[in-house]
Amino acid sequence: MAQLRARPMVVEAVRTTAPCAGCEARPFSVCNALDLRDIERLSSLAVIISVDAGRTFIEEGDPAEFFFNVTAGTAKLFKLLPDGRRQITGFASMGTFLGLAVSSTYAFGAEAVEPMHICRFSRTRLRVVLDEFPAMEKRLLEVASNELVAAQEQMLLLGRKTARERLASFLVSRAAALPAQDTLLADSPAPIDRHGPLRVSLPMTRSDIADYLGLTIETVSRTLTRFKTERLIEIPSASEILIRDLALLAGLSTGMR
């Protein structure tokens, strides 16, 4: 578990005038519940946030005044421990909606692991929009339900799975989060081939991955090397993994291989 280091929150916020219809994250976010006619109303409420890598934009325990929609980049989510350490509980990428707090304060912190762009919405103002557009409110409820499922999967991962199964599960989840996984490959009109190579970005450090999976850095590195030897993956760089066969890796993540 990483030691928490105090860092000032440095963000840049401007009122956006660009239409949400052109946002690359929209097809994979709660915003796609609205049609083009209604999306402009949502756009008028959005404030674009630019966050540098290593900066915190959600502080655990702060008043939950805003919702955040990730439009580019990746953040790590964490919980603080009484002794100042923190436990990474997840990662948020493009299309993730953050801040669905059930209380008046945020239950987690969020820090950018790479440069990010985020749409920030006032909770008070957004509630008015939700009253007008029940389709988006329904989508937010679906997001909340998915978060509960993810929490249960994380408990299973930490409590019952081996190191190989944990790391395989993590890689599969990163692949499943790719926009192309739900639509088409960006440079190809054909549906994605689950038995072909799949490039997955890993902007977080090996230490972050180890913290999230409840493993040591050495175990993560050793297991990745073993996956490479078994030709399950390739490692073009420290921030990228090429999955050679997603179906085989998925089988390994469930103990079926």
CATH of span 161-253: 1.10.10.10
Residues 112 and 52: their CA atoms lie apart, in Å, by 7
pTM of this prediction exceeds 0.85 = no
The pLDDT tens digits of the residues spanning 146-159 come to: 666 666 677 666 76
| Domain positions in the chain | 2-146, 161-253
Residue 85: which H helix or E strand, with range?
A: strand 85-92
Q: What is the pLDDT of residue 149?
A: 64
Q: Which tokens sit at 75?
A: 């953040």
Whether 5 has a pLDDT exceeding 50, the answer reads: no
Q: What is the mean pLDDT of the chain?
A: 79
Q: Which fold has domain 2-146?
A: Jelly Rolls (2.60.120)
The pLDDT tens digits of the residues spanning 169-192 come to: 999 988 887 764 433 333 333 344
Query: What's the length of the chain?
Result: 257
Q: What is the pLDDT of residue 139?
A: 73
Alpha helices for the chain (secondary structure H): 36-43, 123-132, 134-160, 163-176, 179-182, 206-213, 217-229, 246-253
DSSP class of residue 118 equals E
